[in-house]
Amino acid sequence: MELNGIGAFVAGGASGLGQATARELTARGARVTLADVNEDHGTALAEELGGAFARADVTDEEQVAAAVSAAGEIRLAVNCAGIGWAERTVKKDGPAALEPFETVVRVNLIGSFNVLRLAAAAMVDNEPNGDGERGAVVMTASIAAFEGQIGQTAYAASKGGVAGLTLPAARDLAGRAVRVCTIAPGLFDTPLLAALPEDAREALGKTMPFPQRLGKPEEFAHLACAVAENPMLNGEVIRLDGALRMAPR
């Protein structure tokens, strides 16, 4: 699809991969609505970009529905909202806590489906474009979906769920002319890694085959836009990882 002039919805758009995606979409002429739980950052970014902001927790049906509705006609939705958690299945003092596992799955997997279903429901009412397309949804998984490390059971399970959701969702929506793809990033320079010391960040970057550095959020944003622009990309999980394959630890 042509991005110039379309309405785009970016969940988790106040920081990291979502912020970079919102910036890139705006630069390409899209009208962007950001949804995030961080109202201060989201409002400031929306004002900077000339877009709109809606406070929404991706796990909340009513909040996401209201945010999608307020966005008007949308033809692209990108969900970058997510959280992480590290804990071994069995620790020295007993089994892993269940609540953090449930929370990570709820935000990363159920939240992704919540955004997908509500955004797609809005898109099916669009008039088809020149390619007969009504919209596209891009979700965010992780290479942890395929090579989860020690302590990543919750995160890997949630992202594996997003990867597994992609093809059946694309098949579900094919008859309504809405595409679904997922990007599975590797190690990216996001707020999740920003708390690490610089030497630790550099060491992580050197584990990448090539380029030997952390991924840039802008590179994720470029791929999200490329997915939107290419009508033959559908039902696919695309690794964006510099050929990295994660070791057990």
Q: Show me where the domains of the chain are located.
A: 7-239
Instruction: Report yes or no: 44 and 21 within 8 Å, Cβ to Cβ.
Output: no
Q: Do strands 135-140 and 178-185 pair parallel, antiparallel, or not at all (unpaired)?
A: parallel
E-state strands within the chain: 7-11, 31-36, 52-55, 76-79, 90-91, 94-95, 135-140, 178-185, 237-240
Say what the pLDDT of residue 195 is: 65
CA distance 19 to 46: 10
Q: Which of 158-167, 174-183, 189-198 has the lowest mean pLDDT?
A: 189-198
The mean predicted confidence, pLDDT, of the chain is 95
Q: Catalytic site residue 125?
A: no
Q: CA angle, corner 179, sides to 176 and 181, nearest 5?
A: 150
Say what the pLDDT of residue 190 is: 87
Instruction: Report yes or no: 33 and 56 within 8 Å, Cβ to Cβ.
Output: no
pLDDT of residue 128 exceeding 80:
yes
pTM of the model: 0.95
Instruction: Report yes or no: 17 and 80 within 8 Å, Cβ to Cβ.
Output: yes
What is the pLDDT confidence band of residue 198, given thresholds at 50, 70 and 90? confident
Assign domain 7-239 to its CATH superfamily. NAD(P)-binding Rossmann-like Domain (3.40.50.720)
Is residue 21 classed as helix, strand or coil in its secondary structure? Answer: helix
Choose, from 9, 85, 155, 220, the residue flagged as catalytic: 155
